Chains A and B, each alone.
Chain A
Amino acid sequence: MCQIVPKYFKVIYVMSKCLFLILLVSVSLSNFVRAEADFRVSGFGTIGVVTTDSKDFGYRADFSKTGGVFENDIDFAEGSNLGVQFDIIASEEIDFVVQAVYRDQKELNLDTTINLAFVRYAPNPNWSFRIGRTAYDLFLLTEYRDIGYAYSWAHVPSEIYGVIPHRYLDGVDVTFNKPIGDITFAAKLFYGENEFPLTAYGSSSAGLFRLDDTIGLALDFHSMDWEVAINRTRLKFDSQVAEPLIEALVQMDALVPNFSAIWPNSMAFATDIDLDNRNGIYTSVSGQYRFDSVTVISELSKISSESLGVPGVESGYLSGIYHYNAHNFFTSLAFSDSEEFKLEGINLAALEQVPFGLEAYEGAELLLNYFTINQKTFSLGWRWDFDPNMSFKLQLDHTRIDKGGSTFWQPPAKDYTTLKRTGHVNALFANVSFLY
């Protein structure tokens, strides 16, 4: 299972490809920019390693990842990335931002590498308008989850962020800022669409999960010592993943006599499991308070949807960080609680006699559990800022998985019948993150 050497070479190979890509983009941009415009290049990165003590639950950074880190694995791919950003300041009112990130994408091309590509028009300090590819402002950390240097932990909490791999939004947004006494208020309204790979159950491929008509509002209030943020987003799932199951149920209902006695309410279930064109609502309330040497940060989020394919999830975390010179010691408690929907009243013995009946049942179970994450994680860690632009982090997570909510973790084999649904995992993370 130890995959150090191939993964090491893969990371170097793909990083060099990525650098070449970035070089191409930068040359094109510098030709485009007028001589008098201000052109800035900067970037960020993380070289991270992770290992776990589990044979049953393979760690992955989020739902877009096909790999899993099991007992005795030393993995560099899940926690490493490299980014570069080009800022082109054409005038006081107009600037362009292009950012490319390598994060071990399954498919590496210009579309999957470009994280930001927008033009901003800010007619005055209160208002700004952006069009293009912007960071996805769904929850507190979604805009900068890949910038390891930006947060104290070795990774963002999987309980909230694991289930949402989407990084960017192709669309428009408008932001309003205003100081009110010692408090500064910011409101952002955004609209757009996006897609990102999604996978589970040990599959080696990741299909694109598309989100349309995404409209969101992000409100932020902050002062010198505290910050409160509220995010609410409504979107439409654009996915045909449930279509084969729905079609099979419709066929069985039409062709199998008395099918409603074998699978009660099968047609209602077929309607409810459909994801396509169904609405989802994502809400987050977060806050942080900075004492002299301690920062407390917390976030509560809720996902609700019109489809059984995306169950309601409530999740959150509470974290305390103690700052001592260049050292930051932290502890966190995170949880995720998904709604459970069990297929009940189905006559499995009779269903076995129906052609493709059991396959339909297994497919329904897999779809129902696809986004089910029920777990709690306790973390302890240390961040050492050994340079103003470099930090070392070490973090130990202890995770307990219960109520069948293990889909975030990869199984050791692509065999749905042997999936383990409850248990515990210890994971150790170490990384160096940097800015340049």
Chain B
Amino acid sequence: MLACIKVLLLIVGLSFANLVVCNELVLVVHKNNPTDALSRSQLIDLYMGKYVAFPDGARAVPVDIEEDLETREKFYELLVGMPLARVNAYWSKVKFSGRARPPTQQKDEKAILDFVMQTENAIAYVHQNSVTDEVKVVYRFTQ
């Protein structure tokens, strides 16, 4: 009986862990993009408008999610450790001083994936469980 409970708990635990991994945020690019992996510092440059290019020097088009504020907040918290208000404060000085443009926006994950599939130099964050064969994962926050 005890052994059964242990096995059950193990199964539940593994399923939960699998669920967490499935819901983690990952960064994806077009499947033909030559970039295979990015560092966190390169991602910060891309998403904070400091150097908006892939490691091979090709121009990048970062994408933000428009309607899902919770996902956007989670992404920036993981990326730069700042709440969305401070990220917006940062972008307000970059954007309204005319230095750089903020990431382009797509309304939800489906629109984001469609955009990345059609745009060779796009990069976007989506949940692991939304990833399709048409895009390539270049960064995981758990790595």
CA of A135 to CA of B93, assembled, Å: 11
Interface residue? A111 (CB, 8 A):
no
B11 to A: closest C-beta gap in Å: 37
Nearest opposing residue in chain B for A386, CB measure: B85
CA of A177 to CA of B59, assembled, Å: 13
Interface residue? A144 (CB, 8 A):
yes
**B interface residues (Cβ-Cβ under 8 A, vs A):** 40-42, 44-45, 50-53, 57, 59-60, 69, 73, 80-81, 83-86, 88-90, 92-93, 95-99, 101, 104
Chain B residues with CB under 8 Å of A184's CB are 45, 50-51
By the criterion CB–CB under 8 Å, are A116 and B98 in contact? yes
Q: Out of A116, A143, A178, A224, which one reaches B44, CB within 8 Å?
A: A224
Chain B residues with CB under 8 Å of A83's CB are 96
Interface residue? A391 (CB, 8 A):
yes
Chain A residues with CB under 8 Å of B50's CB are 177, 179, 184, 186, 222
CA of A164 to CA of B34, assembled, Å: 48
**Number of contacts between A and B (CB, 8 Å)?**
95
A383 to B: closest C-beta gap in Å: 9
Q: Out of B41, B59, B88, B96, which one reaches A388, CB within 8 Å?
A: B88
Given the known inter-chain contacts A125-B52, A125-B53, A134-B98, please indicate yes or no for A388 contacting B69, CB distance below 8 A.
yes
Q: Out of B42, B89, B104, which one reaches A149, CB within 8 Å?
A: B89
Report A398-436 residues with CB < 8 Å from chain B CB. 435
By the criterion CB–CB under 8 Å, are A149 and B92 in contact? yes
CA of A422 to CA of B119, assembled, Å: 63
Nearest opposing residue in chain B for A292, CB measure: B81
By the criterion CB–CB under 8 Å, are A143 and B99 in contact? yes
- Mask of A135-169 contacts with B, CB within 8 angstroms, 1/0: 10000000110010111000000000000000000
A-B contact pairs, 28 of them (CB 8 A): A95-B101, A99-B98, A116-B98, A120-B98, A125-B53, A125-B57, A125-B59, A126-B53, A126-B57, A130-B98, A135-B97, A143-B98, A143-B99, A144-B93, A147-B92, A147-B97, A150-B90, A150-B96, A151-B89, A179-B45, A223-B41, A323-B86, A326-B83, A326-B85, A385-B83, A385-B89, A391-B85, A435-B92
Given the known inter-chain contacts A125-B51, A151-B89, A385-B85, please indicate yes or no for A179 contacting B42, CB distance below 8 A.
yes
Interface residue? A28 (CB, 8 A):
no
CA of A101 to CA of B60, assembled, Å: 31
A-B interface, 3 closest residue pairs, ranked by CB to CB distance from nearest: A385-B85, A125-B53, A150-B93
Contacts A126-B57, A179-B50 given; 7 further ones with Cβ under 8 A? Answer: A85-B96, A99-B96, A125-B53, A135-B97, A179-B51, A184-B51, A389-B88
Q: Out of A85, A124, A224, A435, which one reaches B59, CB within 8 Å?
A: A124
By the criterion CB–CB under 8 Å, are B96 and A44 in contact? yes
Chain A residues with CB under 8 Å of B80's CB are 224
By the criterion CB–CB under 8 Å, are A42 and B95 in contact? yes
Given the known inter-chain contacts A118-B98, A125-B53, please indicate yes or no for A150 contacting B89, CB distance below 8 A.
yes
CA of A235 to CA of B85, assembled, Å: 37
By the criterion CB–CB under 8 Å, are B42 and A144 in contact? no
B71 to A: closest C-beta gap in Å: 13
Interface residue? A97 (CB, 8 A):
yes
Chain A residues with CB under 8 Å of B73's CB are 388
Chain A residues with CB under 8 Å of B95's CB are 42, 85
Interface residue? A251 (CB, 8 A):
no
B58 to A: closest C-beta gap in Å: 8
Nearest opposing residue in chain A for B60, CB measure: A125
CA of A89 to CA of B92, assembled, Å: 18
Chain A residues with CB under 8 Å of B98's CB are 97, 99, 116, 118, 120, 130, 134-135, 143
CA of A118 to CA of B41, assembled, Å: 30
